[in-house]
Every structure is written in structure tokens, then in C-alpha cells.
A and B are shown apart, each in its own frame.
Chain A
Amino acid sequence: MLPLKEKDVLSLHAGDFVLLTGLIVTGRDKLHKFLVKEKPSRKEIPFDLQGSVLYHCGPVVRKKANNYEIIACGPTTSIRVDMYEPEVIFRYGFKGIMGKGGMGEQTLNALKVNHCVYFHAIGGAAVYLAERIKRVVGVWKLEEFGIAEAMWALEIDNFPAIVTMDSYGKNLHNTIEKKSYEELRKLIKL
């Protein structure tokens, strides 16, 4: 259940399969750069970010009479915002980051220091995941950044994801990469 509390984060471990329910916000390349360069205060952002999950996602959205419909919303590759993420986690109080492909050492360290966790959503499963959205709560920076790069606040229900980086410094991606390196060495006789 979101928002996440300290004890929720500590109870999650790399490898856990979870179903998330509650409020999340989206943010990708432009938003991350903006948050770090312009440093807007928490009050300037119309959603309560404390303990929420920042989802790396640029959705397909259709405008309806008085709201929006999220048509497709799978994760985007997280590593592109790795250089911004430690400051974003620290400054805005996120307790979860969600995307795909995992992140680097600096974010892993920030997860540890700030007690935060990385969820890996299922890449490309955009319609399935859109069906797990109960409501569009609001949107910020739509005019400035456009649909894909704006911050969408979404109420999700039983949204599947896998914890691949936890607050104890364990990173499933590193484990798999190391193993594949051993195989690579054998295959190309390094």
C-alpha cells in the first residue's frame, strides 16, 4: 500500500514480487533534469510526494471531456536518469522508484542512505498496466513538457512489479550481470 512507510521499505527485499496499490507519480528525462536544475520546492508540486513512488514512464494519454484516459503506460529505461536520482530521492521524499532495467551505483547508494527501494515493472506491458490505473488524480507541467514528459499522478490498483534493488544495497541486476560476465568470458575466451 502506498505511500510507503519506513517499515514497509525495510520489509522489501530484492527478488520480491509485489502488487502496488495507491498513489504514484510519473517522471522521466525532462522532469528529472528540471527537478535537479530548477529545484522547485515541494509546495510548488501539487501532489504529496512523501513516501510515494516515482514511476519512470511516458504514457499514451487521451483527453476526455473533463479528465484524461491513460491508454498505455509501461515503464521506460531507468538508467538515463541515474545521474539525477539521488538528489531527487533525497529532496522530494520518494520511498520507491519504479522503471525498468535497473539503475547505477549512485542510485543504489541513495536507496540505502534514504531507505528507498527500486521496483522493476514489466517492460512493454502497457495495456495491462494501464488497466491497473483506477484514476488520473492530476497532472503537472503538461503544457511545458508535453504528455510523455509531464508528471502524472495516478491511483493504481494491484500494479505488478519486482523489487530488484533494495534498501540494504542488494541489486539483482548486478548479480545477473556478474554471472553473465563469467559466461561471456568463456564464450569469447577472454
Chain B
Amino acid sequence: MLKLRDILVELYRETATSLPYEIETKLKKIFKIENSNAKEALKVILENIKMAREFEKPICQDTGVPIFFIKAPFGISHNYIKNEIIKATRIATRNIPLRANAVDVLTDKNSGDNTGIGFPVIYIEEVNNSKLIIELILKGSGSENIGQIYKLPIQEIGAERDFDGVRKCVLDAIYKAQGRGCPPYFIGIGIGATKDQVTRLSKEQLLREIEDKNKNSLLDALEKKILKDINKLGIGPMGFKGKTTALAVKIGINHRHPASYFVDVSISCWAHRKSKVILKI
């Protein structure tokens, strides 16, 4: 049987070099409807996806911040999983290779192996079944930098403490981002009581598949409405003008405090690199 570490190294390889097929399929569809420079860009992008998979090389040179979302059954040590992740990260960085992205804030030195304080980012929760589910996002920082957090109400954009206020925040974030984070984007939104909670929640939404329908009909309608509005902005693929600025909008909610209404917007580039592995324990 393969060791957890080996499985994690392969998870890294798959995530860095092979874009999920549903995203590739979607990009092929929009290639047909876009024009001019946006179409030229998509042509190169589609060719790049193919080459990266074939040559097993990273789709993007920014192999990002590795973010793990893990659901672990009762009885398996979380520290064990974390240690295996750190060892696998070092191996993956050397072998695939990934770009070393972990920089020490005190010395400004790069650790050289993608490990450091809080790096990779690891979220683990215990679940009530016998499967260990590991999901990995390699989060590029061009798109991470254009994310925003909002504290409603915000008078300047007429955002009140309701769903329409949420919609206005997201439109504001994408307008401000323009083409700087490599659109078409994937957008995760988190609504809730505290800053830390909504940022994690919005990131977690990025794990959802494009066609995944929100179980709550109100949120489902809001996701569709926001996506439609974003695509009216005309920013387009790579910010070169066009019909497609975002491919998906996904919303997660927590209960909020009467005084607080935080909305966090996490954005991923078109090269939304994520993979999942399910292990029976």
C-alpha cells in the first residue's frame, strides 16, 4: 500500500500540472464565444493546459500557496497528517518541481522548500465516517491579492446589510480587480460574524465544482445573479475585454452577530488548480 506521503506528493503533481477537466471544458466553450485579443489569449491558455498535462510541468510558474482542506475520521492523528504534508511538500517542491514560495517575514529569506510558519496552510476537521478526504488548492497569489473583505453597510457603493449589499460588494471587488488576477475568475464568498471565519469560508467555496448547485434556493439564485452581473462588466478573459469575466460564483454562510455583517471575497484565476483524494482508513 502507498504511504500517505507518496499519495500527497502525487496529489501535488496532479494539482500543479493537470487542470480539472470541467474547467478545461468550460474554457473551451468560452473560446468559441470570445473575440479578438481575448480569443488569442484563450487559444494560448488551452494549448498551455494541454502541454502542462502532457509534459507533467506546472501550468503556471506561480505554484502558489498550498492550501489543504482535510476531513479526517475519528482516531487518526491530525499532527501525523500535518507532518506528512510537510514532508510531502518538500519532496514535491524538489521533484515536480514547484517554485519555492515561502518567504520568512523576519529575514526576507525564501525557505526554498515551500514550508515555513503556517506554510502550507492546513485546515483539518474531524468527521463522522471512515474516509480520509484530502483536498488541495494551489492558490496563485496574483488572484489572492485581488481578494477583498467588506464590512456592511458601505454607503459609497450603496451596500446595505442584505443580499443585494453582498452582490454590490462582489461587483466592486471585481471592478477593482479588472484583469490583474488572470480572469476568467472563480469566486468564493463567505458571509458571517468574524473576519477570520469568513475568509476561510470564502476559500472553502473555491473547492466546489462549476455546476455544483447551492442546496439553498436563495443562495443559488444569488450566486447566479452575481455571476450574470459580473459578466456584464465586460472585463473579459485576461482583462482584454469580453463576455466572460467569471466562470463561477459560490457562496457560503455562517450565522452573524447583530452588529456584524462581514462579506469576504476570495478569487481564483482561470488556472484554478485543485484536486481531491479519498482514502479508506
Q: Is A107 at the interface (CB under 8 A from chain B)?
A: no
Q: Is the CB of B61 within 8 A of A57?
A: yes
Q: Is the CB of A176 within 8 A of B45?
A: no
The answer to whether A32 has its CB under 8 Å from any CB of chain B is no
Residues on the B chain within 8 Å of A172, using CB? 240
B37–A126 touching, CB < 8 Å: no
Contact residue among A15, A60, A184, A188 (Cβ-Cβ distance under 8 Å from B99) = A60
Q: How far is the CA of A76 from the CA of B182 in the complex (A)?
A: 10
Q: How far is the CB of A94 from chain B (nearest CB, A)?
A: 21
> Min CB distance, A145 to chain B, in Å?
9
A48 at the interface (CB under 8 A from B): no
Residues of B close to A43: CB separation below 8 A: none
Q: In the complex where A74-B61, A127-B59, A180-B175 touch, is A60 in contact with B98 (Cβ < 8 A)?
A: yes
Most buried by A among B37, B110, B168: B37
Task: Tell me, rounded to whole Å, the shortest Cβ–Cβ distance linking B57 to chain A.
Answer: 5
- With an 8 A cutoff between CB atoms, is B25 at the interface? no
Q: A180's contact among B98, B158, B235, by CB below 8 Å, is which?
A: B235
Q: Which residues of B contact A173 (CB under 8 A)?
A: 178-179, 239
Find A125's partner among B37, B45, B168, B235 (CB 8 Å cutoff): B45
Distance in angstroms between the alpha carbons of A99 and B164 in the assembled complex: 36
- With A and B bound together, what is the CA distance between A77 and B182 in angstroms? 9
Q: How large is the interface on A (under 10, 10 to 19, 20 to 34, 35 or more residues)?
A: 35 or more
Cβ-defined contact, B182 with A71, below 8 A: no
**CA distance in complex: A110, B167 (Å):** 38
Q: Which A residues lie within 8 Å of B232 (CB)?
A: 183, 187
Task: Please give, as numbers and ranges, the residues of chain A lying within 8 Å of B63 by CB-CB distance.
Answer: 60
Q: Mark B163-186, 1 if CB is under 8 A from A, else 0.
A: 000011001100100111110000
Within 8 Å CB of A71, what residues of B?
57-58, 61, 97
Interface residues of A in 164-190 (CB under 8 A from B): 172-173, 176-177, 179-181, 183-184, 187-190
Given the known interface contacts A124-B45, A126-B58, A180-B234, the answer about A100 and B180 at a Cβ–Cβ threshold of 8 Å is yes
The answer to whether A123 and B57 touch across the interface, beta carbons within 8 angstroms, is no
Q: What is the CA–CA distance of A37 and B276 in the complex, to the nearest angstrom?
A: 45
CB atoms of A162 and B59 under 8 A apart: no
B20 close to A (CB within 8 Å): no
Is B178's CB under 8 angstroms from A126's CB? no
For B44, B158, B159, which residue has the most chain A Cβ atoms within 10 angstroms?
B44
Known A162-B240, A184-B175; judge A127-B62 contact (CB<8 A): no
Do A102 and B62 contact each other (CB < 8 Å), given the known contacts A124-B269, A125-B48?
no
Tell me if B229 is interfacial: C-beta within 8 Å of chain A: yes
Separation in Å of the B21 CB from the closest CB of chain A?
17
Name B270's closest neighbour in chain A (CB-CB). A124
- Complex interface residues of chain B between 234 and 281 (CB less than 8 A to chain A): 234-236, 238-241, 269-271
Interface flag for B55 (CB, 8 Å): yes
Within 8 A of A (CB), among B90-147: 97-101, 110, 112, 140, 142, 145
Do A181 and B175 contact each other (CB < 8 Å), given the known contacts A146-B110, A148-B99? Answer: yes
Does residue A96 face the partner (Cβ distance < 8 Å to B)? no
Q: Report how far A59 CA is from B60 CA in the complex, Å.
A: 9
- Report the minimal beta-carbon distance from B269 to chain A, rounded to whole angstroms: 6
Q: Which residue of A lies closest to B54 (CB)?
A: A127
Min CB gap B114→A, angstroms: 12
Residues from chain A with Cβ under 8 Å of B196 in the complex? none
Q: Is A101 an interface residue (CB 8 A)?
A: yes
Contact B58 A127 (CB under 8 A): yes
CA distance A72 to B57 in the complex (A): 7
Q: A76-B142, A147-B100 are in contact. Are A101 and B229 (CB under 8 A)?
A: no
Most buried by A among B63, B168, B240, B270: B240
State whether B239 touches A126 (Cβ < 8 A).
no
Interface string of A119-155 (1 = CB under 8 A from B): 0101111111111000000000000001110000000
Among B58, B62, B110, B232, max chain A CB count under 10 A is at B62
Contact A124 B59, beta carbon cutoff 8 Å = yes
Report how far A102 CA is from B45 CA in the complex, Å: 19
Q: Could you tell me if A122 and B238 are in contact, using CB atoms closer than 8 angstroms?
A: yes
Selected from A17, A77, A126, the residue in CB contact (under 8 A) with B48 is A126
Closest 7 CB pairs between A and B?
A101-B180, A123-B182, A72-B61, A128-B48, A125-B48, A124-B271, A180-B233
